[in-house]
Structure 1
Amino acid sequence: MTQTDPALMSAETLTALYARRALSPVETLKAIMERVARYNPWVNAFATMNPRALIEAGESEARWAAGRPMGPLDGVPCTVKDLLNVQGLPTRRGSKLTPTTPVREDAPAVLGLRATGGVILGKTTTTEYGWKTPGDNPLNGITRNPWDPKRTTGGSSSGAGAAGAAAFGPLHIGTDAGGSIRIPAAYCGLVGMKPSYGRIPQWPHSAFGQVSCAGPMTRTVRDAALMMSAMARADLRDPFCLPDDPRDWRDGIEQGVAGLRVAVVRRLGFEPPLDAEGASAVALAAKILEENGAIVEEADPELPDIRAIFGRVWGVALARLVETTPQEKRELLDKALLEVAEREGGMSAVDYLGAEALRVEAAHAAARFHQKYDLILCPTTPTAAFAADDPTLHPTQALWRDWAPWTFAFNITRQPAITVPIGLDDSGMPRGVQFAAAQLRDDLCFRAARVIEQVVQMPSAKMDEA
């Protein structure tokens, strides 16, 4: 695969070529569909394909020929995680329990892509109801990492991570309630952005409440910002979304980090695990930032220990899911989901409100910390991607607080956080580092990630050698 292959091109490059008539949306989609036919049988990134994709690409081609593109994503292939609604396709959520009938309305994030001309290639796999980190579900099976098919993509946006790394299009919508965008992005060598809560509207709302949001997963930082510009538009179906913001999130993305204060964080209310290569990745990122004018130092945001908060929020959501499933159908659920719901889901209303009070305390602590520091720098994951079908992995180890200790804190505080590739480890697998900023300062996340991206030239997965 070369830089002349449309499948490897960024969304920005594709639309620039469309404008010059040097490439067409139909040619691009056909090139990507050829890759899907070749590699998806072992990658298993898709839950369902959009039978109208070529028709949509043809409509886009006609608009470009007439000089009237719908917007900056016209003709760009996109995928959507199968937790979100796409009109005309079923929403299965990785479960054998969900209906197979097509839904009638797009989710707000999908509507945003369509409004700017995005072509929906298909829906990507997710762990069942988005509940865990390993990238498998009872309905679709295991989704495998294009860098190494023996490794997981991570989850729960497992198919989005795989599709991005496999070059099944440049733009992929994930969702994130504890790291579900950032973990698979880091494992698969992608950029993954969890925006400020409310930035991208949600409908229907997540079973996991107001810690979840949709966001972009892409191969470049600029594409992530471009994609968020399309999705971050107010939607009246979501009463909790932020006011409409028509900005192009690429504006200011090249301003760099000179003068910004960056805290290298090793504690998030507790000390998450981290292997030696992960520590080296953070050190490299800190060095790059310093060389680009940032003021970098170690600091502790002094958050409360939020592991218990997250376990309670997650456990109660899973328990409610099980409780609303008819008894005779519960055997169809992921057995580990049932086990975690039983273990984590029993608590009183007083305990639950106590967890919510602690969540607010954590958000206040983060807000105070960002009065001094513009950005937090920390790892995205404790290790590189683990085995996709490790028989020694106990089911309850899939719980977020065990495999996602560096990501879920920013869902609890609802602040923006982005992961960006920092290179490959000694085994040839991608590693990522994470930036978090104060609520509503998503722009700083993009700026810092862009600086890293410009220095670290991330290769593509060599899938013929996998």
Structure 2
Amino acid sequence: MTDLLSQSAAQLRALFRTGAAGPVDLLEATLERIAAVNPTINAIAYLDEDRARAAAQAAARRWSAGAPLSDMDGMAVTVKDSINCVGMPWRHGSAAHADLPDATVDSPPAARLKEAGAVIVGKTTMPDFGMMAAGVSSLYGIVRNPWDPERNTGGSSAGAGAALAAGIGVAAVGTDIAGSVRLPAGHCGVVALKPTQGRIPHLPASTMRSAGPMARTVSDAIDMYRVLSLPDARDAWSLAPESDDRMDRPLTPRGMRIGILTDLGPGFALHPRVEAVVRSAAAVLADGGAEVTDVPAPFDDDPYPALDRVFQVRGRAEWEGIAPDRRHLVIPAVADWAAGAAELSATDYARDLAAVDVSQARFAAALAGFDMVVAPVIPTPGFAADEVGLDPSRPLAHCGYTAWFNQTAQPASSLCFGFVDGCPVGIQIAGRRCADQEVLRLTRWLEERRPFPMPTPPVTLAAGGTR
């Protein structure tokens, strides 16, 4: 039989239509891949085999009758631990939450997937509270990169990135508050979109955090986006449905003004080998007719401390909501960092929010003259699997290139466009607010012109996988 896990969603649909293979076959192959690679990469937090088999069997009957619910019907997918899904545990990456009951309500992303007939295989791992841009958790341990198990996956959608790279699932749902779908995509060589805030509903409603699609190819991410972006009245910020779907139409960058952002001002300096990858994408865009210009550094003074304190307050609030006798179970890298918020007053917090608003306006103004912006995902090629980030005392400190797009609410994708020492290097493609479809279309244009065929990670090859 065809290696189902190397097929795109479009190829799988063709097989489903002819009966050459079906959703049950895809699920069984996915479960076999999990058994083969998860002991190494530690990407899967929870397997829901019984419900997944029932969903796959129902999808198989629909395809046999020629009546699939959607293009995602029968596709094996995963959702992040932070996304409520009926009958599955919600642990938010922390051993302190291990005693919580299973979810009784589907969050919007889970609800949309089920309505579309997707087969939710299970949940993926993440760090405590999602407050770490690395794959280290008090509950799940260390998540490892399929390209090199000694390298980090990034976070906080750590397991989603690792699972996809290893061939587990057609697509995945992650969440992103400071880069948490784009960072793992960059580390693991897959595709992700942090949408315009409100474009993909999620709970609790937030103007900073979004759920986002992740996949191995842009086309598969688009299939997931179409399902996830349907509105949900439970999210107060949920946007009205898009008026048309342009994502299958060819797009060219000819005539676009594209900014290249390789310097934020203060913060971590961009590694030359990462900058070279960003510049290679810029050259491809210029060859395609775009007007490509460097973006001047948006910041003179470091904007990160105020944003970091806002994140600290968020982390501390979750820590204080845990029973006192369980708080010690939270990973120290998060608990100790968030402890700084205990000394802040409400006035301090309001002042920091105001400072973040000022920085957000400066960042938006710096990018306002461009149709699209290309930037790195992280400033370095990567870091060790057991590290919590580039600054051990501030686990989100290296997220400057991603976090400000959450504050401006702009859509931003991640795409592998190079390798350093055998591991992927991701670039971001960011567009104007509500230009999610254009971002995805330009990301696919770049993917089609990537100057190398995407190889298969060593962990996947060891499991007998191909791409």
AA at the equivalent of 1:453: E
Q: 1:370: how far off? A: 4.7
Contact 1:309 1:359 in 2 (8 A): yes
Hey, what's the Cα distance between the residues in 1 that align with 2:224 and 2:163? Answer: 16
Hey, what's the Cα distance between the residues in 2 that align with 1:107 and 1:125? Answer: 17
- What does 1:395-406 align with in structure 2 at a 5 Å threshold? 395-397=392-394, 399-401=395-397, 403-406=398-401
Pairing partner for 2:14 from 13, 16, 30: 16
Q: 1:261: how far off? A: 0.5
Question: How many pairs are equivalent?
Answer: 457
Q: 1:244: how far off? A: 2.7
Query: Which has the higher mean CA deviation after the structures are superposed, 304-313 or 282-291?
Result: 304-313
Contact 2:254 2:288 in 1 (8 A): yes
Q: 1:279: how far off? A: 0.8
Contact 2:152 2:385 in 1 (8 A): yes
Hey, what's the Cα distance between the residues in 2 that align with 1:192 and 1:233? Answer: 18
1:110-133 deviation line (CA, Å, top 9, x unaligned) = 111111111001100011111102
Contact 2:47 2:122 in 1 (8 A): yes
Name the SS for the 1:396 alignment partner. coil
Name the SS for the 1:311 alignment partner. helix
Name the SS for the 1:112 alignment partner. helix
1:339-377 deviation line (CA, Å, top 9, x unaligned) = 101235532323322222233334434444454210111
Q: 1:190: how far off? A: 0.5
Q: Which residue does 1:48 correspond to in 2? A: 46
Hey, what's the Cα distance between the residues in 1 that align with 2:277 and 2:69? Answer: 40
CA distance change for structure 1 residues 66 and 391 in 2, over 3 Å: closer, same or farther?
closer
AA at the equivalent of 1:244: P
Q: Which residue does 1:446 correspond to in 2? A: 440
Q: Which residue does 2:96 correspond to in 1? A: 97
Pairing partner for 2:280 from 284, 290, 297: 284
AA at the equivalent of 1:288: V
Q: Which residue does 1:381 correspond to in 2? A: 378
Contact 1:268 1:409 in 2 (8 A): no
Q: Which residue does 1:220 correspond to in 2? A: 217
Tell me, which stretches of 5 or more residues in structure 1 are unaligned? Answer: none
Hey, what's the Cα distance between the residues in 2 that align with 1:443 and 1:300? Answer: 26
Q: 1:224: how far off? A: 1.2
Pairing partner for 1:413 from 408, 413, 432: 408
Q: 1:308: how far off? A: 2.2
Contact 1:311 1:344 in 2 (8 A): no
Q: Which residue does 1:59 correspond to in 2? A: 58
Q: 1:236: how far off? A: 1.2
Hey, what's the Cα distance between the residues in 1 that align with 2:366 and 2:110? Answer: 34
Contact 1:60 1:117 in 2 (8 A): yes
Q: Which residue does 2:418 correspond to in 1? A: 423
Q: Which residue does 1:462 correspond to in 2? A: 458
Hey, what's the Cα distance between the residues in 1 that align with 2:214 and 2:311? Answer: 23
Query: Structure 1-normalised TM-score?
Result: 0.93
Hey, what's the Cα distance between the residues in 1 that align with 2:388 and 2:227? Answer: 41
AA at the equivalent of 2:427: V
- What does 1:55-454 align with in structure 2 at a 5 Å threshold? 55-98=54-97, 99-205=99-205, 209-245=206-242, 247-248=244-245, 250-252=247-249, 254-268=250-264, 270=266, 272-300=268-296, 302-303=298-299, 305-344=302-341, 346-390=343-387, 395-397=392-394, 399-401=395-397, 403-425=398-420, 427-454=421-448
Q: 1:245: how far off? A: 3.0
Tell me, which stretches of 5 or more residues in structure 2 are unaligned? Answer: none
Q: 1:302: how far off? A: 3.0
Contact 1:318 1:345 in 2 (8 A): no
RMSD: 2.1
CA distance change for structure 1 residues 259 and 92 in 2, over 3 Å: closer, same or farther?
same
Name the SS for the 1:149 alignment partner. coil
Q: 1:97: how far off? A: 2.4
Contact 1:25 1:57 in 2 (8 A): yes
Hey, what's the Cα distance between the residues in 2 that align with 1:326 and 1:185? Answer: 34
CA distance change for structure 1 residues 280 and 188 in 2, over 3 Å: closer, same or farther?
same
Contact 1:363 1:414 in 2 (8 A): no
Contact 1:266 1:272 in 2 (8 A): no
Hey, what's the Cα distance between the residues in 2 that align with 1:358 and 1:12? Answer: 46
Q: 1:43: how far off? A: 1.1
Identity %: 36
Hey, what's the Cα distance between the residues in 1 that align with 2:399 and 2:364? Answer: 22
Hey, what's the Cα distance between the residues in 1 that align with 2:369 and 2:20? Answer: 49
Q: 1:86: how far off? A: 0.8
CA distance change for structure 1 residues 272 and 416 in 2, over 3 Å: closer, same or farther?
farther
Hey, what's the Cα distance between the residues in 1 that align with 2:372 and 2:7? Answer: 30
